[in-house]
Amino acid sequence: MVVFTEKKQIDKHLQGLKDKQYRIGFVPTMGALHQGHLSLVVKALEQNDYVVVSIFVNPTQFDNATDLKNYPRTLARDTELLATVSDAIIVYAPDVSDIYEVETKAEQFNFDGLEYEMEGRFRNGHFDGVGTIVKRLFEIVKPNHAYFGQKDFQQLAIIKKMVEKHQIPVAIHGCPILRETNGLALSSRNERLKPDYKKAAPFIYKTLKSAKKQFGTKSAKYVTEWVEKAFSNHDLLQLEYFIIADEKTLKPVIRKSKNKTYRAFIAVYADDIRLIDNIALN
């Protein structure tokens, strides 16, 4: 397994592989890798000859300076973990200057309104930062296929929209959420949970499953109010939002339709750690 820190280096290496008609898969990450990331890498290895894993904590997608500062950075451990998976993995771990060069600033994007829903309401400029880094990584790696987890479902939808609008020649694959045995969605942030909050956090998925069951017979308004009440009675977890939305538009549901597919989205604070999750409802 090889590790590159500069885009000129990795571009030269990948061009040699592409000249031999090898297929390149891509898994962009911010590091602090866990089994959820590895499941994306394994899927990519099944469909490609080589897989690039980028490890880069992208400053332009953070709206909270403290969150950016505290985000775990474990490059040595991450590369060791990837080395146990396959020798067909190529790591790209650049500095901020290699990605942004002169100015660390996000581009402005139009995602046809997807960026204004859910996370977009609560994290100012977040999706411009996401679009900027993913677009630049696509331009550097030029993969055939790219893989993203469905835990960040809105991000996945936005990346698909960006690829469509900018006509980027890459196939986007969304992969299932991996969970701990207690149901908590795997996340790099989980490492920072204090013991009491770690114990309490599975309540998030438990609530999502109950919401799904109720959505079969109850209205979206009823289910939303039930979830909000459940969290208002919780001693440790603070609900930021719970939204039932159309999977295509990500707009909140007013009235259910038999012809549409719905998903429930949630964001919760466990002390100062922000956790997100979602579940398909039909």
Q: What is the pLDDT of residue 280?
A: 98
Mean pLDDT to the nearest integer, 24-49: 97
- Can you tell me the mean pLDDT for 117-121? 93
Pair 43, 36: CB distance under 8 Å: no
Catalytic site includes residue 37: yes
Region 72-88 average pLDDT? 96
Burial 192-213 (b: 16+ CB within 10 A, else e): bbeeebbebbbbbbebbeebbe
Pick the catalytic residue: 13, 34, 37, 173? 37
pTM above 0.85, yes or no: yes
Residue 124 pLDDT level (bands cut at 50, 70, 90):
confident
Q: What is the mean pLDDT of residues 152-177?
A: 97
| Per-residue pLDDT tens over the stretch 60-76 | 999 889 889 988 899 99
**Is it the case that residue 270 has pLDDT exceeding 90?**
yes
Q: How many CB atoms lie within 10 A of CB 24?
A: 21
Among 58-62, 87-91, 159-163, 189-193, whose mean pLDDT is lowest? Answer: 189-193
